[in-house]
Amino acid sequence: MSFFGKQNILFLKGFMILFLSCIATRFNFCLSNNPFSLKTLPLEGHLSFDETSLNKASKDFGNRYQYHPMAVMYPKSVSDIATTIKHIWHMGHSSHLTVAARGHGHSLQGQSQTHGGIVIKMESLKVPEMQIHVGNSSPYVDVSGGELWINILHETLKYGLAPRSWTDYLHLTVGGTLSNAGVSGQAFKHGPQISNVQQLEIVTGTGEVVNCSEKQNEELFQSVLGGLGQFGIITRARILLEPAPSMVKWIRVLYSDFTEFTRDQERLISEENAFDYIEGFVIINRTGLLNNWRSSFNPQDPVQASHFKSDGKTLFCLELAKYFNFQQINIVNQDVERHLSRLNYIRSTLFQTEVTYVEFLDRVHVSEVKLRSKGLWDVPHPWLNLFIPKSKIHSFAQFVFGNILTQTSNGPVLIYPVKKSKWDNRTSVVIPDEDIFYLVAFLTSAVPSSNGTDGLEHILSQNKRILEYCQRENLGVKQYLPHHNTQEEWRDHFGTKWEIFSQRKFVYDPFAILAPGQRIFQKTITTS
């Protein structure tokens, strides 16, 4: 079917939904002026109007925005979610109510919040129970959209299996990461998490429960993946699995030359079975760097490493991981040594260690525990995540690390390449139009009381300068975990995908009930 044919069908679907909703709005007009009719809904779970619950739901990991909801819903079933959304949809344009699905609350700009609406606490949704299917060539696990990835890891490992693609931090919900993309050091090999999903169950903005996949309701399936919660709430997902290793050889090496650093990264992601995880990060004017690593990493040559001075330099760290089982250790060591011998890192900075698969994947949580103990976790996190085309990464790095970010950053700066071929262009996520592009993530934490370089205003100013530079130089950069203030900016973000994105919104969430915290579409309120 032609592109325009599909658009006509989308329009007709949306028109019929709006027509039926007008009838529903008239029939349910008495409900529209009484949001507390929600209390009468037949739910297995419950709605909370308690101030403590509302306060918790009005915050997120970014710790910068607070939107106070009217109620927080703790669903026990998918029907609870569908019933509530359908009820609000029937209210039509005369109701101000919107719905935000909240996973583990790790959004950065209030995306999981709603002002005066209903926050759905997805972690309360425990159905269906996790079901692991091992008896075929493509094992998979069926999980609730509110399940944490760390729980999936522990459960699938009981069967010697694990998901193929991860995020760096595992204490996030399935629905949350699939609504964005889910990117980590495995993405060059398996693609993002949205490239490793077979089926979804969705509750749309009209309260309809729909099962979808590449073969069933494909349009909704592709829309929701990376769709920022705009078309439906993910209540169940089928995640592809692979045989899990028991151990990981974890390696770090340093570069002072950015060209050599990126050349080696790009070489490694193009080689078959070289490494299972490839990331990198920028180190700016960091003192005693290698001494800090010694608590968890062993230098290849302790004498040489002790003479290395990192003070005052901008360095680039290549971080690698090779998965293995105990009986493979000798072969893996030889393989790793062979691949490392071809790289152009500073030889005295080779650090290696061996950890369990779980320890490696859950490594960020260890840092979280330490930061929480020092009261440094619940602070503002003005993160900036960018996808940058390979052809522009050198000019970007030269300007940003030479002119904007010149002091030690208050948090890691990640930089690593991924391959476009591992991403499905039919999904809603937006990426640069080059075969290889880089994720560059400024994962800063702000000191609340500071007016210095570690303060919120200074970091936000840096972020703004970076974005202005990208726009001024027309680098073709796209935000990941995007945040924009106007619909015109969102149009520019989506580019050629905007028309189909907005038309799908019209079909699956015609009253803009879902995910108001993204601030892409605004619910229209009428009083007559």
> pLDDT digit string (tens) for 351-396?
999 999 999 999 999 989 988 998 889 999 999 999 999 999 999 9
Q: How many Cα neighbours within 13 Å face the side chain of 135?
A: 1
pLDDT at 299 over 90: no
Q: Looking at residues 188-193, what average pLDDT do you find?
A: 98
Provide the pLDDT confidence category of residue 456 given band limits of 50, 70 and 90: very high
User: What residues have CB less than 8 Å from 382, skipping those under 6 apart?
Assistant: 62, 64, 108, 444, 446, 456, 459, 460, 463
Helices 3-27 and 498-508 pack at an angle, to 10 degrees, of 30
Q: What is the DSSP letter of 294?
A: T
Q: In what order do the strands lie in the sheet with 118-121?
A: 46-48, 71-74, 118-121, 99-102
Q: What pLDDT is stored for residue 293 in this prediction? A: 80
Which of 209, 234, 205, 230 is closest to 97 using CA atoms? Answer: 205
Q: Are 314 and 284 within 8 A, CB to CB?
A: yes
Q: How many residues does the chain have?
A: 528
The mean-pLDDT minimum among 2-11, 19-28, 313-322, 424-433 falls in 19-28
Give the domain ranges of the chain: 131-243, 247-479
Q: Determine the Cα–Cα distance for residues 264 and 407; give it in Å rounded to an integer.
A: 26
CB-CB contact of 189 with 279 (8 Å): no
279 as an active site residue: the answer is yes
The one catalytic residue in 219, 279, 319, 362 is: 279
Task: Report how far residue 503's alpha carbon sits from residue 521's, in angstroms, rounded to the nearest whole number.
Answer: 12
Section 209-232 average pLDDT = 98
Q: Is the pLDDT of residue 23 over 50?
A: no
106 is catalytic: yes
Rounded Cα gap, residues 362 and 397, in angstroms? 29
Asked whether residue 17 carries a pLDDT value surpassing 70, the answer given is: no
Confidence at residue 290, expressed as pLDDT on a 0 to 100 scale: 77
**What is the pLDDT confidence band of residue 4, given thresholds at 50, 70 and 90?**
very low
Res 8 pLDDT > 80: no
- Average confidence (pLDDT) over 431-457: 95
Mean pLDDT of 248-267: 97
The string of DSSP letters for 431-460 reads --SSSEEEEEEE-----TT--STTSHHHHH
Among 46, 96, 115, 168, the active-site one is 168
Average pLDDT of the chain, as a whole number: 91
Least confidently predicted of 132-141, 192-201, 267-276, 498-507? 132-141
Query: 218: which 2 tokens?
Result: 């494909």
pLDDT of residue 256: 95
Asked if the domains at 131-243 and 247-479 fall in one CATH topology, the answer is no
Instruction: Evaluate if residue 6 carries a pLDDT over 70.
Output: no
The CATH number for 131-243, chosen from 3.40.710.10, 3.40.190.10, 1.20.1250.20, 3.30.465.10, is: 3.30.465.10
Does residue 72 carry a pLDDT above 80?
A: yes
pLDDT of residue 10: 57
Query: What's the pLDDT band for 7 if we cut at 50, 70, 90?
Result: low
Active site residue 168: yes
Kindly indicate the confidence band of residue 93, based on its pLDDT and cuts at 50, 70 and 90: confident
- Among 8-22, 111-125, 279-293, 325-339, the range scoring the smallest mean pLDDT is 8-22
More confident residue, 26 or 170: 170
Task: Among 177-191, 249-263, 299-313, 433-447, name the one with the lowest average pLDDT.
Answer: 299-313
Distances (CA, A) of 78 to 37, 155, 239, 317, 443: 20, 22, 19, 45, 34
* pLDDT tops 90 at residue 408: no
Give the confidence band of 309 by pLDDT, cuts at 50, 70, 90.
Answer: confident
Superfamily of domain 247-479, CATH level 4: FAD-linked oxidases, C-terminal domain (3.40.462.10)
Residue 509, SS3? coil
pLDDT > 80? residue 470 = yes
Higher per-residue confidence, 408 vs 132: 132
Question: How would residue 37 be classed by pLDDT, with cut points 50, 70 and 90?
Answer: confident
Q: What is the pLDDT of residue 525?
A: 74
Selecting among 87, 90, 93, 106, the annotated active-site residue is 106
161 pLDDT tier (thresholds 50, 70, 90): very high
